[in-house]
Structure 1
Amino acid sequence: MPIVHIYLLEGKPQTYLQALGDSIHQALMETWGLPEKDRFQIFHEEKAEHFKIDHFAYLEGEGVQRSDDVIMIQITTSPRTIQMKRAFYKRLPDLLKDSIGLSPANVFINVMMTDEEDWSLGIGKTTLIEKLE
């Protein structure tokens, strides 16, 4: 049950945001085996003065040239393998290029892993542990 925070500049139409969220969830279902109904996404639309992502300075030699369309995706999740994370990192930019025309250089992803006991999804239970018992 990952929680996905999506940061981007304000002003995109709802259809763009919907396609963005759909693509992220599709990539998670394909690469992490998430169920269709395991979708927890929070969109953070920021004013330009509150969203400072360098376009060229960092990793310029790696061919990463971002534009103002850059999105930052931060995922908090229970443990995932490096293979799962790499598959997600590879799949998502392809889906976003097809769905909203986003350049792969504009897809910035950060995955933060937690332990299973760090999750309570309601009613006071350590859901990921108690569900398994």
Structure 2
Amino acid sequence: MPLLNFTVIRGRTAEQTRQLLDSAHRAVVEAFDVPERDRYQIVDVREPDDVVALDTGLGFERTDQLVIIQVVSRTRTTEMKQRFYELLAENLRRDCGLDAKDLIVSITENGDADWSFGAGRAQFLTGELT
């Protein structure tokens, strides 16, 4: 955990999608100090007309390379979130050629009782995970 949901516009190859996921995971590991195998990612591929992502008045011109990432996570500090945004943009630019204007990220926080990783137990509550 955290769980990352990616919304992308159709057109990336499987290799490009994998690079996107790998680059994002490196940002998660570094910024949130989670183990390497703490990786949960879902990709939702959409047609161009299925996604509307304007610029909130910031003057950004979006392209068909747009990536929207919804993160569900335990509570993180403001500093950790800021570091995550920076690392994510940097990694995706370097590894995928993604312009930071084509990156939208939203983080939703939840608590330990909101996670079960299997076996019908909330592992943060049972002490199996910390």
Give TM-score, length-normalised by structure 1.
0.91
Q: Does 1:20 align with 2:20?
A: yes
| Gapped regions of structure 1 (runs ≥ 5) | none
Count of aligned residue pairs for this structure pair: 129
Q: Does 1:41 align with 2:41?
A: yes
Report SS of the residue matched to 1:60: coil
Counterpart-to-counterpart distance in 1, 2:84 and 2:98: 16
Tell me which amino acid in the other structure corresponds to 2:78: I
- Where in structure 2 are the equivalents of 1:1-133 lying within 5 Å? 1-54=1-54, 56=55, 58-61=56-59, 64-131=60-127
Report SS of the residue matched to 2:119: coil
Q: What do residues 25-51 of structure 1 show as CA deviations (whole Å, max 9, x unaligned)?
A: 000111111111111100000011211
- What's the Cα RMSD here? 1.4
Tell me which amino acid in the other structure corresponds to 1:92: L
Q: How far 1:65 sits from its partner (Å)?
A: 2.7
Tell me which amino acid in the other structure corresponds to 1:109: V
Q: How far 1:59 sits from its partner (Å)?
A: 2.8
| Gapped regions of structure 2 (runs ≥ 5) | none
Fraction of identical pairs, as percent: 28
Report SS of the residue matched to 2:44: strand
Report SS of the residue matched to 2:117: coil
